[in-house]
Structure 1
Amino acid sequence: MACLLRTAFLIFIILFSVPATAQTQRQVTIISENDGYISVNNDGYYTNGLKFSYQWRRVPAETRREKINTFQLGQLIYTSQFAGEAALDRPITGYLYADFHQSVFNKKQDLLKWGVGFGLIGPPAFGKEMQERVHQVMQIYKPKNWDKQLRADWGLIADASWSPQLKKDRNSSLLEMKPLLSVTAGNFFTHATLGSAFLLGRSNLNNATVFWDHHKGTTKADREYFAYVFPAVSFKAYDATVQGGLFKKGPEPIEGRLNPVFFQTRMGVMYSGNKLSLGAAAVYESKQSLTQGSSQWYGSLQVGFMW
């Protein structure tokens, strides 16, 4: 685990050391997600997530489409609802991943985003070590049952998303809708998602909004501040964090049962100035595994720095 953190730190030091130019804009974003942000008595299912991303865009010539490139490293941790043997109602695992995404915008500011990624589940994802370290720092109970986590496996994932830019009068309208259609395929995750975000406040077009992590404002007039609600439904065919690796041999220590119709709603607020962006959200999710005792809530916090 310590080796992993040192590697991630070294990568970000290298990225920060590359000088920016007038034609290149860069951004680093950190996202922390935890069910404890909603309630200290809530500790289960999607219990923790930590994501680091580095983004850069080069100002395009008039004849070229604008493109934004993003590298992300992340770790997500899934557990059963409680530590007792009788409540092991979904598989336990970490999910460690690295991915690359590119966002492309046409003249209408429609967003087309594609990406590829690599991930690990089971012991190589260091979920046990991370949760034990976090609980040690917080001086709460030592996590149990990690000896029953999913078997080690690796996966490749590809995805694509599309969000059309609806007509908007920035000077008179405080309400904006951002539809989203996305598909993901691979031996870890295969699903399609349909949703739409509703923003109330001051927000920019798709290529310049913090909602899609694309803020690029340099003046006071470019600043954003809005509240939003983002409901979405996913139709799932496979999820390795619930079912284990696609090519697993034999049953897992704790068997999950995939919920094929999965609902998620995010409710939050966001702000972005010239250099700093901030976001906070409460997230509701239906059962990822039909064996779970209940649905869940968790909180999400993010901070970004642009230069």
Structure 2
Amino acid sequence: MKTKPLLFAFSLFAGIHTYAQTHTNEVGLQSDNDSFLAQGSDRYYTNGIYAYFRHALDASKNDNLANKVLGFEAGQKIFNPRSGYIPAPQFVDRPFAGYLFVGSSLNLLYKNESNLKLSAKIGVVGPAAGGQGIQKFIHKTFGFYPPQGWQYQVRNDVELNLSAEYNKLLARAEGADVSLTSYANLGNGFTGAGVGPLFRLGSFNQLFHSASTQSTVSRSDIAAPLHQHELFFYYKPQANYIAYDATIQGSLFKDHPEPGTQEITLTKKPFVLTNQVGGSLVINRFVFDVSVIFKSKEVKEMLRSQQWGSVTMLYRFK
């Protein structure tokens, strides 16, 4: 890949200075969809949309911190079985479910290239999440088949979740490094944990100034970044333990199926593997990330594994 023409083109598009700048805010969107892979599939985790706002806080009062970022997000996830068209309940191999949420996070990024990101989210799983309406709108807009089977979806339930994410640099050479990545979730919606390595190849910055850790904003350059811009590829395999998932099992505190409904809930698998391959570009005011995620079966009744594409674009400003 000829990176210099690509960087120059993005510089012209940005229309601003080509030297490194400090931006304290960023706003953007992320879109996930299995149709991005052009395989004709429409199964399992089929669509996700997220909005982000991040603001850099003053980290100079703590001698160990290089950066500190406060984040806010809102999003929706949509799940369906092997297809969005299910003519009978026996074909449901992953429950229909929507998940709608808002949340906030505090990302503490240390000079030793470790970080601890603490998050809290409140949301709803079920018809109130609007999954059925959004899927119908998308399919009608783009000329896809009309969805059928949402009468079997997981019932309404309010979810409160806490999570912690920890990353730590393990080794670095010229143009390549490897880090430890891990997370833990606790709540009535999602409980579990995961761990794995992150491999990066290209021009990347330290973990306290990088797209890899959602730290592309900062209030001051306590430690100068390695590069003016980031352009790197990454591979992130991860082993995950799933203790509870409300989009599969329904409410933690209700009987299933819920009386008076056609709700279908199924059995989650305790161990799930994911593989994410992607690339990130950070240049001037813009942050871009494109990736493909492969995930093993998360429900015992599932016929196949799943995969989807993810695209993120952020805009940084003062």
Residue of 279, 285, 308 corresponding to 1:275 = 285
Tell me the alpha carbon deviations over residues 181-208 of structure 1, each in whole angstroms, 9 at most, x when there is no partner: 2111001111010111101101111111
Tell me the alpha carbon deviations over residues 205-258 of structure 1, each in whole angstroms, 9 at most, x when there is no partner: 111101222124899942000111100011111000110010113325223111
**Partner-residue secondary structure (3-state), 1:164:** strand
**2:91 is aligned with 1:87:** yes
Residues 192, 134 of structure 1: alpha-carbon distance in 2 compared, 3 angstrom cutoff = same
Residue of 223, 246, 251 corresponding to 2:257 = 251
Question: Residues of 2 paired with 1:153 and 1:274: CA distance?
Answer: 42
**2:293 is aligned with 1:299:** no
**2:225 is aligned with 1:224:** no
Structure 2 residue runs without a partner (length 5+)? 1-20
Sequence identity percentage: 27
The equivalent of 2:248 in structure 1 is 242
Question: Residues of 2 paired with 1:160 and 1:68: CA distance?
Answer: 14
Structure 1 residue runs without a partner (length 5+)? 1-21
Structure 1 residue 166: deviation in Å? Answer: 3.4
The equivalent of 1:202 in structure 2 is 203
TM-score (norm 1): 0.87
8 Å contact from structure 2 (residues 172, 178) kept in 1? no
Question: Residues of 1 paired with 2:52 and 2:213: CA distance?
Answer: 13
Question: Which amino acid is 1:142 matched to?
Answer: P
Segment drifting more, 51-60 vs 260-269: 51-60
Residue of 156, 159, 162 corresponding to 1:158 = 162
**2:186 is aligned with 1:185:** yes
Say how many residue pairs are matched: 283
Alignment of 1:106-185 (within 5 A): 106-168=110-172, 173-185=174-186
Question: Residues of 1 paired with 2:251 and 2:278: CA distance?
Answer: 33
8 Å contact from structure 1 (residues 45, 79) kept in 2? yes
Residues 260, 95 of structure 1: alpha-carbon distance in 2 compared, 3 angstrom cutoff = same
Alignment of 1:61-80 (within 5 A): 61=60, 63=62, 65=65, 66-80=67-81
Question: Residues of 2 paired with 1:106 and 1:199: CA distance?
Answer: 19
Query: Once superposed, what is the RMSD of the aligned Cα atoms?
Result: 2.0
TM-score (norm 2): 0.84
